[in-house]
Structure 1
Amino acid sequence: MKSTDHPKKRVAFEPAERLLQPTGYDPGMKRPPSIVAGALLVVLGVLAGVAWVIASSGVWPEWVGEVAAIIGGDDVPDRVEQSTYLLFAVLSGLFLAVEATLALLVFLGVNWARVLVMVFAALTISAAFVRWWVEDQEIEITTTFISLGIDILILLALSSRSAAAYARRRER
């Protein structure tokens, strides 16, 4: 079967020169579904993060107790447990707010936000792989399966040609 038989079909391995070609100036380009899906997936990841922070409040005393046992402390005062959880929740909230802002910027077609979200997704996918490989951490529905799946889908949606063209539509 020749490549001329299917003119819209792309080859599996494209040369780097073709992949790095500019997308073309088109400020009136409509928002593609890949951008909408990518932004919605980032928002879904933010909601999953909020749920995880809320759920971790129930097991926080146990986690603090385990860390104290490793360090060598016996009993951890309640105020230390509460203050460490408060610090954790505030830092997590800031991170999730930044991620929600990035979702909005991706939806609006800001290229650096799209790239930053893809880099973060690639890093979290890689971290999950390393934890599986080195620490034998199982990927289960109750642990990393949902966040890993969301990150893979984000990477697929935002790395598409249409998402790149939309994010770079104003470049000459």
Structure 2
Amino acid sequence: MDRERVRDRDAAGRARSGRPRDGLGRPLAYGADGVARQPEGVARTPAGTVREAQRLLDAGMPFHAHEVFEDAWKARPEGERELWQGLAQLAVGLTHAARGNATGGARLLLRGAGRVEAYVREGAGAVETYGVDVAGLLAWARKLAERVGARPDGTVDPVAEAPRLSGGRTGAE
């Protein structure tokens, strides 16, 4: 007898897995204890986005930080979307590296760095970066991508490697 597979849906009817997730966004078995997901479509100020993403990065939850940046990239004006999309890619690059996917992690770190690099080249004050230390993140992303790429069989600690978005420490240096 064929059974029709019923897909999980969110409140708006979009397909969305109801499986719990761990701190790195990996799906767990139904009924397992997981980490609360980030709600989608939350309207935050840019400063609120940076604060919430930093809190999640510091907690070792870069996948969740990526979702916060994704909300900003979808909601902010066109001229800022590359910044927020690049920040999301940096967070998901750290996620992949922490999951043990060195190749994917390094690629996403470099892709995210490429997106945010324009915000350094534009010059101070030319484009608003909301206090994000873009130059520091570029250095962090490139160093981490190099280290991760050099040892593709290992994982990184997402707490120890978490960047400082607004200056200061930029991961395990």
Per the TM superposition, whether the score is higher than 0.5 is no
Structure with the higher fraction of residues in helix conformation: 1
TM-score tier by shorter-chain length is 0.3 to 0.5
Give the TM-score, by structure 1 length.
0.33
Structure having greater relative contact order (Cα 8 Å, sep ≥ 6): 1
Give the TM-score, by structure 2 length.
0.33
Structure of greater Rg: 1
